[in-house]
């Protein structure tokens, strides 16, 4: 009897140890797949109510993927984003809902329009470059960023890239001579990161979305 209990105890410990070792990898793979799945969903009309308080954005931890599985975010997608130079393809959600930010980026102000004014979006920087905005820091001046609202493709070219303080929120409301895209994410995937990566790009072209182009956003 004692031998059986002893063996069972070791089996339980082994299972727990294996789970602790593999859970982060499982979580990353799950979030990658969920993000890809979300990007395949249709663009919709935004909900009337959403959160735009970026101080309420929660960090992603190893258990966030379970939350994403329980609450798949695919009904509030207002657009899609792709940065070919660093292999980023993400859905754009209306507002900064924590669950939605597990699989994409969110708009930072309520009254924003692609191709007009300052279209500001934010998302998580993950240590894994395959996740969310984990490879944004690899972008370079001159790289193109493409947005679509389901009808048109908006081409922006990066002309500013720098590290800023978390308190420099004026970049979200700044106005420019030309229509602009602003992307903000944490400077690293570390918890309590105080620095932010800022990418600012100017609009260079607007074209009608074709069926061929739509595939580049998925």
Residue 124: active-site member = yes
Which structure tokens are listed for 48? 């009337």
Tell which residue, 129, 89, 85, 128, has the closest CA to residue 105: 89
Q: Check 124, 159, 163, 170 and give the catalytic one.
A: 124
User: Has 71 been annotated as catalytic?
Assistant: no
Q: Which of 41, 125, 163, 186 is catalytic?
A: 186
**Contact yes or no for 217/145 (Cβ under 8 A):** no
E strands, the chain, where? 77-83, 88-93, 105-107, 118-122, 144-148, 152-165, 180-186, 195-208
Half-sphere exposure of 194 (CA within 13 A, CB side): 2
What b-and-e string marks burial along 90-103, b requiring 16 or more CB atoms within 10 Å of the CB?
A: bbbbbbbbbbbbbb
Give the catalytic positions in this structure: 124, 186
């Amino acid at each position: 009897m004692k031998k059986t209990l002893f063996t069972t105890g070791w089996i339980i410990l082994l299972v727990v140890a294996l789970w602790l070792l593999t859970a982060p990898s499982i979580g990353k793979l799950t979030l990658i797949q969920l993000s890809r799945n979300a990007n395949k969903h249709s663009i919709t009309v935004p909900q009337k109510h959403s959160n735009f308080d970026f101080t309420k954005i929660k960090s992603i931890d190893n258990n966030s993927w379970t939350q994403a599985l329980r609450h798949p975010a695919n009904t509030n997608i207002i657009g899609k984003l792709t940065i070919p130079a660093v292999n980023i393809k993400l859905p754009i959600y209306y507002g900064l809902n924590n669950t939605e930010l597990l699989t994409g980026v969110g708009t930072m102000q309520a009254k924003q329009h692609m191709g007009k004014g300052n279209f500001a979006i934010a998302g998580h920087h993950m240590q894994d470059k395959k996740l969310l905005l984990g490879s944004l820091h690899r972008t370079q001046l001159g790289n193109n960023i493409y947005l679509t609202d389901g009808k048109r493709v908006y081409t922006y070219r990066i002309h500013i890239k720098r590290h800023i303080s978390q308190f420099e929120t004026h970049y979200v409301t700044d106005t420019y001579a030309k229509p602009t895209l602003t992307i903000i994410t944490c400077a690293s995937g570390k918890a309590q990161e105080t620095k932010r990566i800022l990418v600012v790009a100017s609009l260079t072209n607007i074209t009608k979305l074709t069926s061929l182009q739509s595939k580049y956003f998925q």
